[in-house]
């Protein structure tokens, strides 16, 4: 990899990114690489990025930002041979955590020259691209409120979640997969091609992002008294140990919320309203990602 493109999101997380191009350029020069930069604006970013890739194809594209930036670059590269690199500079950095990519910039920059390429599955949810996690229900509501606010960072997310929890009403879902049918009330429905939210909640233990299938992780309505134990299990990979959780494994799904015309869905950290019912399908090994090389056994 000699010619590298870095996609910068100037507002992700709460990090000053002004010095970032000089830092990246210095690392690349040191290792005999060339660096170009594409800055997102929130206006036609995917279209502009695809145009750049068509006219000046790089050897790899690094997403320097949070989960939204990673999803943007991943969608542009999905189905191509050009690999995705991640410099995790957002509030959550969920996919980077799942793939073992260092959260410290200097260490993540080592992927410029020290890496292996891992193929990953991706999802289509309501026709939209997802590389990590999507959900309906409580978390989608929180992400929507968070997106409308001016404050970023984990503290803002926790504050909003605490405010919304008491008044939140679970919805009824009808889920039909290529394997089974499930119907009932749910506090949250997560469509997972990965393990962990950026908040470190392990929603899908033992999942593999390259096995050609995804999981639908259900949290059923629970009494307030059960919340501390459930939360503990979600932070300690004990999702399957609760009476209020259930997982479905599949390759395709149709998710319906009876009585609704549109449904609020969180897609890779971004809120969207999608037509009801919501279709979900997996695209096996459709994305190539740079990850740290496996450590050899001693």
Whether the predicted pLDDT of 295 surpasses 80: no
Indicate the CATH number of 3-114 among 1.10.10.1200, 3.40.50.10330, 3.40.980.10, 3.40.50.1820: 3.40.50.10330
Alpha helices in the chain (DSSP H): 20-30, 45-55, 67-77, 94-99, 105-108, 138-148, 154-165, 227-235
9-38: per-residue pLDDT in tens? 876 555 666 788 999 999 999 999 999 999
Domain boundaries 128-284, CATH class: mainly beta
What are the percentages of helix, strand and coil residues in the chain, rounded to 5?
Answer: 30, 35, 35
For residue 76, pLDDT over 50 is answered with yes
Across the chain, mean pLDDT equals 90
The answer on pLDDT for 5 being more than 70 is yes
The H or E element that residue 133 is part of is: strand 133-137
What pLDDT score was predicted for residue 296? Answer: 45
DSSP bridge partners of 253: 177, 280
Is the fold of 3-114 the same as that of 128-284? no
The full set of domain ranges for the chain reads 3-114, 128-284
Span 124-152, average pLDDT: 86
Other CB atoms within a 10 A radius of the CB of residue 20 amount to 18
Q: How confident is the model over 40-61, as a mean pLDDT?
A: 93
- State pLDDT tens for residues 211-252: 999 999 999 999 999 999 999 999 999 999 999 999 999 999
């Amino acid at each position: 990899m000699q010619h590298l493109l870095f996609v910068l999101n100037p507002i992700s997380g709460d990090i000053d990114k002004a010095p970032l191009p000089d830092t990246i350029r210095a690392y690349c020069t040191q290792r005999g690489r060339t660096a170009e930069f594409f800055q997102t604006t929130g206006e036609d970013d995917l279209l502009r990025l695809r145009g750049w890739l068509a006219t000046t194809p790089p050897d790899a594209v690094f997403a320097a930002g949070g989960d939204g930036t990673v999803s943007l670059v991943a969608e542009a590269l999905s189905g191509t041979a050009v690999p995705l690199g991640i410099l995790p500079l957002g509030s959550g950095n969920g996919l980077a955590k799942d793939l073992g990519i260092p959260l410290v910039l200097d260490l993540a920059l080592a992927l410029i020259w020290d890496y292996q390429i891992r193929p990953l599955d991706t999802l289509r949810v309501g026709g939209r691209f997802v590389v990590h996690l999507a959900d309906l229900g409580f978390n989608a509501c929180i992400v929507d409120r968070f997106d409308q606010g001016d404050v970023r960072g984990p503290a803002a997310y926790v504050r909003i979640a605490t405010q919304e929890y008491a008044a939140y009403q679970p919805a009824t879902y009808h889920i039909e997969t290529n394997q089974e049918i499930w119907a009932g009330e749910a506090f949250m429905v997560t469509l997972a091609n990965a393990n962990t939210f950026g908040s470190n909640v392990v929603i899908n233990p033992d999942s593999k992002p390259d096995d050609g299938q995804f999981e639908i992780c259900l949290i059923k309505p629970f009494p307030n008294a059960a919340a501390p134990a459930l939360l503990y299990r979600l932070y300690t990979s004990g999702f399957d140990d609760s009476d209020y959780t259930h997982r479905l494994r599949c390759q395709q799904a149709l998710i319906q919320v009876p009585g609704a015309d549109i449904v609020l869905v969180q897609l890779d950290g971004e809120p969207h309203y999608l037509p009801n019912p919501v279709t979900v399908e997996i695209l096996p090994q459709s994305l190539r990602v740079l990850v740290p090389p496996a450590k050899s056994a001693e």
